[in-house]
Structure 1
Amino acid sequence: MKDSRGGLSGGALGRATFEMARQNLEGVPSERIRSMSADDLAILAKVSKSALYQNQPLREWLASEHGREVRRKTAAQQTDETAAVEAPKARKDDHLFQQISTLQAQNSKLQAELAELRSKLARYRHIDEHLANTGRMPR
């Protein structure tokens, strides 16, 4: 069936999408289909990801033939995944912050030591110069 613009109507488009996806997935092992993400499955089937979620015949065929459920993630699942990703990131950030603090403290300590050694070096240069000129140690 064609709509007023000359394209396929919703039902015909859905059937065409289903047939195209089924043909593109023919010969692909079920194990591979079950292990793929929805993005990868959509690419392999050459359909959009929304077609995987919205095309009921396609979802039913994937479930019956390959044991692959295609479901949208709920907001709770997305929040859990985001938290799972952000938790290690927060620990990594804490670790980096601690490393930076340690390095800053070490840097400050080394700068103080450098200033002390420079003042000693200036004093020893003065002693060396006086000794070279007079042959006596200054008091």
Structure 2
Amino acid sequence: MGELISGAAAGAENVRRLRAYLDDLAAGGLALPVRQGRVNVSAVALACGFDRQVLYKNPTAKEMLAEAEAKLGLDRGDGEDAAEDEKPAVRTPDQRDRRIHKLEQENAALRAEAAGLRERLRRIRHVEEHMVETGRWVAPLPQSLGETGK
């Protein structure tokens, strides 16, 4: 399972998987899945077992998908209505990509906060050790040395 294959071999395998998926749809008389009036690339990629970027970057896969869209059409049976067909095709950023970006930003902020808290804990432990060893209180550090005054 962990064997490496060349980019060309991986591309050919992805095209083979896509062809098998599209053939299955055609054999079953099914259309391509739709999302916001266009082919749901994520659903196609998931069904084929590869990343959706393959359908954007692999020219053969991209062409096969376009041909299949013309030949098979789009599945409009899952709540899609005719009013959506009349909307102009406006490319909007994918909601999942926006959510991922937002979560990455929150994660970075939390990591920075955790690092700051670890540093503060290290300083507090150092002060506690000094107090235990000497039996004396330690005066608070001036704010110019990094203490927040809290």
Which category of TM-score, normalised to the shorter sequence, fits these structures? 0.3 to 0.5
Q: Which has the higher contact order (CA 8 A, sep 6+)?
A: 2
Normalised by the length of structure 1, the TM-score is 0.43
Q: Which structure would you say has the larger Rg?
A: 1
Normalised by the length of structure 2, the TM-score is 0.41
Question: Which structure has more helix as a fraction of its residues?
Answer: 1
